[in-house]
Amino acid sequence: MYDPLRVALKVGASGLEAQSKRLRVVSENLANAQSTASTPGGDPYTRKVVTFENEVDEALGASLVKVAGIERHRTPYRIEHNPSHPAADANGYVKLPNVDIVSEVADMQEANRSYEANLQVIKQARELIAMTIDLLRSN
Amino acid sequence: MSVIHLFDIVSRQNRWLSVRQSTIAGNIANANTPGYKALDVEPFEKALELTRLSMNSTHAGHLAESGARTSTVEAANSSSWDVTHSGNSVSIEQELINAGEVNRAYRLNTSIAKAFHRMILASAKV
């Protein structure tokens, strides 16, 4: 029989892991917000997004969360006229990444908020365990 | 002896509260999972009435019953505060309020158990 409080710690940890992966993808997107191709007419960096899925752990009997995959975002690339750029095609257009900094920052905030919520649950489960152990303390 | 009965109820409610805490953890971990429905446990009064007898294994080759599945987790009704467009019905604020409630009840329970424990010890010591 699993102790439900330990299950709570495990589930919270799975949430922390999923949100930190999301933060990693956001940082990749922000770092590559200007990465163009090096060959004429080539495709630049494509924005990536994480998708989450609910995974039921049979042994624990609890629903963990896991990153289902890191997908490429399907918005079109930004196009700029810059004929001297190494990635410019025959007409002088350069494809820039479809990374939108504002929505990346919003995504970052949301990941932050979810991470905090998971951390709060872990803290509280630890507190409950500590309260039970304190029953043994004689005073 | 009624004091012993009190300890029984305290430990049963603390177990119920732990199951609730792990359900809250599952909800918060899945706060961004599309289509995930928030779960809650059935009320303590209802859980107290039920005796959940589990099957005994009479042979070593029988599959063991796994842990928390026998506990009181069940799909919640539509009491969730908000349902997002992706079909996710977890509200982090609601879950944190529930977690605070669990914490408060757990603290109350352990303090009561501690007080009774002290009383028993006081009578045993002399």
Burial B70-94 (b: 16+ CB within 10 A, else e): ebbbeebeeebeeeeeeebbbbbeb
B64-108 residue pLDDT tens: 554 444 454 555 555 777 777 888 888 888 899 999 999 999 999
Rounded to whole angstroms, how far apart are CA atoms B12 and A110?
37
pLDDT value, residue B69: 43
The boundaries of the domain holding residue A46 are 4-138
Interchain pair A15, B29: CB under 8 A: yes
Q: CA–CA separation, A67 vs B63, rounded Å? A: 30
Give the Cα-Cα-Cα angle B8, A126, B27 (nearest 5 degrees): 90
Q: Which residues from A are below 8 Å from B117, CB to CB? A: 135
How far is the C-alpha of B29 from the C-alpha of A18, rounded, in Å?
A: 8
Poorest-pLDDT segment among A111-120, B26-35, B40-49, B112-121: B40-49
Angle value at C-alpha A21, between A18 and A25, nearest 5 degrees: 140
Averaged pLDDT, B29-35? 90
B 24-53 residues with CB below 8 A of A? Answer: 24-26, 28-36, 39
Q: What percent of chain A has pLDDT over 90?
A: 71
> For residue B100, what pLDDT is reported?
94
Among the listed residues A60, A46, A117, the one whose alpha carbon sits nearest the alpha carbon of residue B29: A117
pLDDT in tens, A86-103: 888 899 999 999 999 999
Here the tokens at position B121 are 């010890």
Nearest CA in chain A to B100: A124
Lowest mean pLDDT among B6-10, B52-56, B105-109: B52-56
Q: For residue B28, give how far its alpha carbon lies from the nearest alpha carbon of chain A (Å).
A: 6
DSSP 8-state secondary structure symbol assigned to residue A85: S
Q: Which of A107-121, B71-85, B107-121 has the lowest mean pLDDT?
A: B71-85
Residue type, B89: S
The mean per-residue pLDDT over the stretch B9-29 comes to 90
Structure tokens given for B88 = 């996710």
**Is the model's pTM score more than 0.80?**
no
Out of A1, A65, A128, the one facing B103 most closely (by C-beta) is A128
Average pLDDT, chain B: 80
* Residues listed for chain B: 126
Number of domains in chain A: 1
Query: Is any Cβ of chain B less than 8 angstroms from the Cβ of A132?
Result: yes
Are A34 and A78 spatial neighbours (Cβ–Cβ below 8 Å)? no
Q: Picking from A34-43, A123-132, B81-90, which range would have the lowest pLDDT averaged per residue? A: B81-90
In chain A, the percentage of residues whose pLDDT exceeds 70 is 98
Contact at CB, A8 and B21, closer than 8 angstroms:
yes
Tokens of A99: 């990374």
Report DSSP letters for chain B, one per residue. -HHHHHHHHHHHHHHHHHHHHHHHHHHHHTTT-TTPPPEEEPPHHHHHH-----PPP-STTSPPPPTGGGSSEEE--S--S---TTS----HHHHHHHHHHHHHHHHHHHHHHHHHHHHHHHHHH-
CA B28 – CA A66 distance, rounded (Å): 13
| 8 Å CB contact of B30 and A65 | yes
Q: Which residues pair with A78 in a beta bridge?
A: A96
> What is the spatial distance between Cα B113 and Cα B126, in angstroms, rounded to a whole number?
21
For A67-84, write each residue's pLDDT tens digit. 999 999 999 999 999 999
Residue pair B75/B39 in contact (Cβ under 8 Å)? The answer is yes
Q: Is residue B62's pLDDT more than 90?
A: no
Tell me the shortest Cα–Cα distance from A128 to chain B, in angstroms.
Answer: 7
